[in-house]
Amino acid sequence: MTADLLTDALFADMEDSILSVGQARTLPPAVYTSPAFFEFEREVVFGREWLCVGRESWVSQPGEFFTTTIAGEPILVVRNRDGALKAMSPVCQHRAMWVAEGHGSASSFLCPYHHWCYSLDGALISAPAMEQTENFDPRQIRLPSFRLEVWLGFVFVNLDPEAAPLAARLGALSDALAHYDLAGAEGPRPGAPTRFPWNWKVMMENNNDGYHANKLHHGPLHDFVPSALSRFPELPPDSIGYFRFNDTTHPDASFNATQRAIMPVFPLLTETERHRMIFANVPPTLSLVVTSDMVIYLILRPDTADQGEMDVGLLFAPGTMRAPGFEHRLALYDGAFNAINAQDMHVDALVQKGLRSRFAPRGR
């Protein structure tokens, strides 16, 4: 698919993908495979929508920072000297070198290329020898800043200064997750990111698809959360988060070989909440799998139409990580999650290959 196929006809052809479930077809295969369409999405989706970049706990002290990249755009998140969170571009305004990478703690950001130095708020502090440059005013130079909101402990960034606020558009999902107190939940920082060879929408759709679970994941690690017990609540028209409740065959079911919670249950949960799971998505970057004792979160970070990375993290009730035997119990979750995730990753990779076929369907 080339740029000249980004026509009104293509977008008109998508109209039947937003009909009711009983009437709709899936999107045209080309929107999952086309580099030109991904470039379009970089502008209208990733350039204008709220992007989850990490957890607020990763930058709890002044000077702590982390960097990430989503759809080719590098992002720097830092807690400044006043304790406020800031989101900025890490791209030096001199020669485009990154002034920070990875994560750590700093009193300022020093570009390693020419030693331009920026404050934790992004202002240019010093630029060696630039006084020899005509019409150069360092007060006019700073790292570009982005809008930032924290939702349930997750840090979101928006590159569009005119975008609507985030929290108001997540009201229904916030209510569904209220008793998990995710803002206060704790978990280890994710390790090395996982590479994926598919379009980001393939995975977002898989994470929302209860239809496949009883088939692909059939067995003792998943049968206690049958697809037949799932339901999708009605959401406000402006909602950007969508989710399904999935009842379980017994209370406090969880993804491990015992089929039951082996970590402390989130203390505010009702009996109803302890008898179900929540599968939630905040496109284009965040997916959640919510059980009574653990939350799995996936932060999707696409690079191209068919490649990207994801950060995989876990959240638990406060104090869980300090409890005796935590690492041993965590190993039981890792085994189950890795087995289920391997099934999903195999399917997602083959779906991406299938979408390149001339016989790829627009399924119901």
pLDDT in tens, 34-48: 999 999 999 999 999
**126 contacts 117 by C-beta, under 8 angstroms:** yes
pLDDT at residue number 2: 55
84-120 confidence digits (pLDDT tens): 999 999 999 999 999 999 999 999 999 999 999 999 9
Exposed/middle/buried for 130, CB within 10 Å: 0-12, 13-18, 19+?
middle
pLDDT at 21 over 90: no
124-142 confidence digits (pLDDT tens): 999 999 999 999 999 999 9
Helix (H) or strand (E) holding 39: helix 35-44
- Where does CATH 2.102.10.10 sit in the chain? 51-165
Average pLDDT, the chain: 95
CATH of 171-355, one of 3.50.50.60, 3.40.980.10, 1.10.10.10, 3.90.380.10: 3.90.380.10
3-state SS assignment for residue 238: coil
Q: Report the percentage of the chain scoring pLDDT > 90.
A: 93
Residue whose tokens read 């977008």: 11
143-168 confidence digits (pLDDT tens): 999 999 999 999 999 999 999 999 99
300-317 confidence digits (pLDDT tens): 999 999 999 999 999 999
242-256 confidence digits (pLDDT tens): 999 999 999 999 999
Cα separation of 213 and 209, whole Å? 8
Q: What is the DSSP string of 125-140?
A: EE-TTGGGSTT--GGG
Helix (H) or strand (E) holding 8: helix 8-13
Assess whether the previous peptide bond of 197 is cis (omega < 30° from 0). Answer: no
3-state SS assignment for residue 278: strand
- For 333, phi then psi, to 5°, come to -70, -40
CATH code for the part of the protein at 51-165: 2.102.10.10
**109 contacts 88 by C-beta, under 8 angstroms:** no
- Where does CATH 3.90.380.10 sit in the chain? 171-355
Tell me the pLDDT band of 1, cut-offs 50, 70 and 90.
very low
3-state SS assignment for residue 260: strand
Polymer length of the chain? 364
**288 contacts 296 by C-beta, under 8 angstroms:** yes
**25 contacts 16 by C-beta, under 8 angstroms:** yes
47-94 confidence digits (pLDDT tens): 999 999 999 999 999 999 999 999 999 999 999 999 999 999 999 999
pLDDT at residue number 299: 98
Cβ neighbours of residue 208 under 8 Å, at least 6 residues apart?
A: 242, 244, 279, 281
Cα separation of 33 and 5, whole Å? 13
pLDDT at residue number 271: 98
pLDDT at 191 over 70: yes
